[in-house]
Structure formats: C-alpha cells, structure tokens
Structure 1
C-alpha cells in the first residue's frame, strides 16, 4: 500500500507473516506499525499510517542517529565541536528533528516473513558528523520477531540506535499490572531534564528494583530510566521479561549494554497514560559527553551492529 504525504515521498507498508505472527512495517521511520500474535495486538500503533507523520511519541520507530538524550545538543569529537538540533528544550532527543524516525527509508520485502530497510544519512544531518549507511532487517521466526540493525560510517561518529515499540501484550486497559523483570541491578541517575548525571545507582536502593518480577505500576511516579546490564554477560542471554494478566509474555534478548524503560505515564491523547511500556535497548544516553560511559563512537573499521530478539509465549 502507498499513501501520498504531500512530500515527494510516499508511505509504503509491508506485511510480514509466519505462523501465528503478523507484522506491519512502514518505510517512514522504519516503523513497526503493528504486531499481532493470534490476532492479539502486542504493541501500540495507528491504523492510519499518515498519523505517524505528526506522532511525537516515536511509536514503533527506529530512533537515532543517537537514541535518548544528548545534553546541551552538542558534543566534542577528535578536537572538533558539533552543534546538534535541540528538539527537547536545550537537549537533543533521539537524533533531533531530522533523526532516523523522521526519514523515509528504502523498503524491500525479501520474503513473506522478512523485510529489509536502508537509509543513507548525509554528513551534517542533524548536526552529526559523517555519512552513515543504515540497514535494518526485520524477520519473523516462529514466535520470535528479530531486528538486525547495522550502520557503516565513513568517519568516526557517535551511533546508538533504539527500536521504540510500546508493548501492550493485548491489554486494552493499560500496563500498570504487567509484571516486569530485568537482568539489571543498576540504573543511571538523571537530572530534571532526564539527562544522566554520570552516576550509576543501585536499583534496590531507589525503588526501581526489577531483578525479580514486579508490577510496572508499583513505581507510582512512573518509569523513565536507563537500566544497565551486566558488562560480563553473554550478549545472547535474556535481558527482560514482560508478563500480562492474560498470560501472554514477552522475552527480550539484546546485545546492548542497557535499555531505557518508559512506562508511558506521560502519554496523552489519542493514547492514555500507561497504555504501553517502551523497552529500548541502546548504548548509554549522553555517552559522547560522559567519559565514564561505554563509548558509542564507531568508525569505518568498526561499524555499528545490534540484534534485538523478541519472543512471545503464553501460559
């Protein structure tokens, strides 16, 4: 399906199927528009693809060049300073107004259960240095949905991608009663703008302990924090489990060093607060400005790679 946008581009849709699974993918923002298991919707999405053109919550998108926040919308690299697009106060969020989630990607459906998307981000886009060739492969494998993401830069530059689904697991009434379990005992302290201070804090001392399963709504002020995974873990091991009252469960496997968890408590119309939970594996936020964080600088010789595996099961 193709829809006119008023721009010299068109929104294209690819439908993937495999067994009990079905996924809808858009070329705009490499967005996962919908994901269904036995016709039960697992994520939030808009039925009208053009609604994503004005969406401010990044529903289902691939976000970057650098996911999450960069303080002051600037950073230094190799003796040069780079001024970025400030799209959240004085900071840059998810790559700015020209980030990957706002671009039209080339989309090719290569099998009934697989789609390939590509986009070339030009040098200077959003203020970031270097040209980068991005590729995203989305594949249904039985009860798994797999995102394989790569980026080839032509010079050293920061790259940190996040897939931004809001998971509901079929719950129309919200996700406060969903249980969340994380392979994490640490999280990043943030300031009043959501930017990490540089300090890493223990979850069990600050009411954010999900090392054993706990309801998402147990954090009354809402969750919007980056949780750090064990540096020594096997990158193929489980990092999160989300379980709904209906018995549907989502298991997440990621090779990233941590993930932002957002419980959607600030979502507004047409969505309700806490209608979906966003789980965003990526590099540490504000890493270009925080020397103690793992580097997110990639080079022609060391390109970016990420694999995200999502597995659905039912009790």
Structure 2
C-alpha cells in the first residue's frame, strides 16, 4: 500500500492510500487544536475490514437486486456479496483494488483504475479517474469514467465522519443534521429499496434535528438499526456551480464544527454507522456502532434494472462525471 498526504494553507490535511483509493485521515484546526474527522484504522487493517472504511465503492455503489443486470434482452450475473444482492460492486470491487497514483501535488492527487469487462460480472471495460483536492475549507471528490460497452456506473466515497473527533467513545447521534430532500427510499428487510416515498417522521430531515432524536421510533429505523436510506435531492440542492445551495448540513455534537455537502449526484445515502461494531480503529481496538456517519453521493440504488429510479447506464462515447464537496466550517 502506498500512502499520499495533501495539505493546504487553510489547515486541511488529508491522508490516503492507493489501496481502494481510501481516505485514512482528515484533520483541521478546531478551537485551537487539530481535530480528526474521519474514522480510520492501521494501514495493514484496511485489507481485512468489512465496512468500506474510507474507500471508494464501485463499480456500482449500494445494492443491485438479485445480483443481476438485465438490458436489451441480455443478462449479466453479478457477485452476490450480500446475498441475494450485489453490494457496492461486489466483494472485490473498487475498494479492494490498488489504484494508480497518476499525479500528486501539495493539495491534490489524481488516481486511476482500469476495470476490465466482466469485473465482478459487470459488462464493459471502465476507465476511471478520481481526484481528491483541498480547496479552501473544502474536500473535493471528483470522478470521471468512460466505457467501451454499456454498463451501470455509480461511484462514491464511503468515508465515515465524526465531527466531534475520532475518540474511543465516539457516537454521532448527538450530531444535528439537515438534508434537503422531500423524498426517500424505504427498504425491505434485505436493504433493497421499495417505492419512492415522501419523507416522514424521523426521515424528514428538512429541518435540523439530532440524528438520535426519537431513535428507532420508526419501523424503517428498527429494521435498519438506524438510518441507511437514499434521499432524493431536490434539483435546487444539486451542484451546478458557484453559490449553489448545499444538499446536507451536519453539526458536531459540541457545535464547534459544521460540514456541508454539495454534489451533482441525484441522491445521498445517509448511513448512521449501524454495523461498525468490531471494525478496527486507530488505537488497535474496535469501533462501536454509530461511531461515524456517511453521506454517500450516488445514483439511486437498484436503478440499473428499475427505470423509475433513474438511468445510471453509461454508454460508449459518454462521460461519467461526479463531483462532491465536503465543506468544513468552524463555528467557534
């Protein structure tokens, strides 16, 4: 594994690995001290952890039902790594690959990956480029991809955040979240999305509320052990250029730090770290459930076979482009 380190004049310091294009650390000054806002583990533990800790999920983030693609009368069986479904591109998806570090500067790095036709069952050869950049108080994650045959593409960073810092008793349920979405995707017991539904109860995050408020009071939360749902972003919350509105905003439990998320993707998967227990941490011990949260910008889950959820198929001659910004704002 080869590490890389980025730093800028505003005090953001990012560390990552070529393995899985994984983000292992992000620190910034808060209240006169340097605060770690990403969950992470020892470098040698990334190959064995099972929660996509800081890695890229791909070739298709989230779930594809029945681990099968169907298009124009053709069928492609995929790796059913979360039986009976394919999760995050399969057991040997992009999170398990050694990406190539193509360019490295003080405040940005570009990594590339060639995914051959048949990789985890997916059709078409996919050439992917990923850039991590530090711009002011922003961490920018930008993907581009092209293919030689139709294939569904949805790439995302599976970074786990804790804005209070990466402490041994970390729990993000005292963080406050706002998410600009009128609709979300409830799921069945296997995590596969059902029909698009209006937000309700604890899933209505249009006004700020604690992540842990009325915890497990909704059948969907009880089933998932918390939040693990895709939110369909309003068009006004989709990244279009300078001055664009944020899609999500989270404030730390101590209220000294906020993070805003800007993206050009149609949905954010909000995951409250419901299955983190037994995942190794930096101290050589283990995280507990809810020690971190994810806001994964992506295409809608299971959309390759369900047109009502969008069209994530990339065709030859087209360019896949995904940009997400995580903006950090100190409030004291």
Q: Say whether the fold is shared (TM-score over 0.5).
A: yes
Match of 2:273 in 1: 264
Structure 1 residues 147-166: aligned runs within 5 Å: 147-166=141-160
Instruction: Report the Cα offset of residue 233 of structure 1.
Output: 4.8
TM-score (norm 1): 0.93
Deviations 1:160-213 (A, max 9, x none): 11111111013433111000100111101211100012x111112x43111011
1:28 to 19, 33, 46: 19
List structure 1 segments (4+ residues) > 6 angstroms apart after TM superposition: none
The worse-fitting range, judged by mean Cα deviation, of 164-173 and 15-24 is 164-173
Q: Is the 8 A contact 2:101 2:109 kept in 1?
A: yes
Match of 2:204 in 1: 209
What CA distance in whole angstroms lies between the structure 2 residues aligned with 1:232 and 1:280?
A: 18
What CA distance in whole angstroms lies between the structure 1 residues aligned with 2:290 and 2:124?
A: 38
Change beyond 3 A, Cα 1:44–1:219: farther
What CA distance in whole angstroms lies between the structure 1 residues aligned with 2:44 and 2:74?
A: 39
Deviations 1:131-152 (A, max 9, x none): 0001100011121110110111
Q: Is the 8 A contact 1:162 1:282 kept in 2?
A: yes
Q: Is the 8 A contact 2:237 2:246 kept in 1?
A: no
Match of 1:41 in 2: 36
Q: Is the 8 A contact 2:163 2:253 kept in 1?
A: no
Structure 1 residues 87-106: aligned runs within 5 Å: 87-106=81-100
**Alignment gaps of 5+ in structure 2:** 217-225, 279-285
Q: Does the residue aligned with 1:167 lie in a helix, a strand or coil?
A: coil
Match of 1:134 in 2: 128
Q: Is the 8 A contact 2:238 2:263 kept in 1?
A: no
Which structure's residues are more often strand, by fraction?
1
What CA distance in whole angstroms lies between the structure 2 residues aligned with 1:310 and 1:266?
A: 23
**Aligned alpha-carbon RMSD (Å):** 1.2
What CA distance in whole angstroms lies between the structure 2 residues aligned with 1:82 and 1:307?
A: 29
Structure 1 residues 164-313: aligned runs within 5 Å: 164-171=158-165, 172=167, 173-197=170-194, 199-204=195-200, 206-221=201-216, 222-231=226-235, 233-236=237-240, 237-246=245-254, 247-269=256-278, 270-313=286-329
Deviations 1:17-49 (A, max 9, x none): 112110001000000111001221011011x21
What CA distance in whole angstroms lies between the structure 2 residues aligned with 1:30 and 1:266?
A: 22
Deviations 1:37-92 (A, max 9, x none): 1221011011x211110011001111010000011100212221000000012110
Q: Does the residue aligned with 2:202 lie in a helix, a strand or coil?
A: coil
Q: Does 1:17 align with 2:7?
A: yes
Change beyond 3 A, Cα 1:234–1:90: closer
What CA distance in whole angstroms lies between the structure 1 residues aligned with 2:238 and 2:124?
A: 31
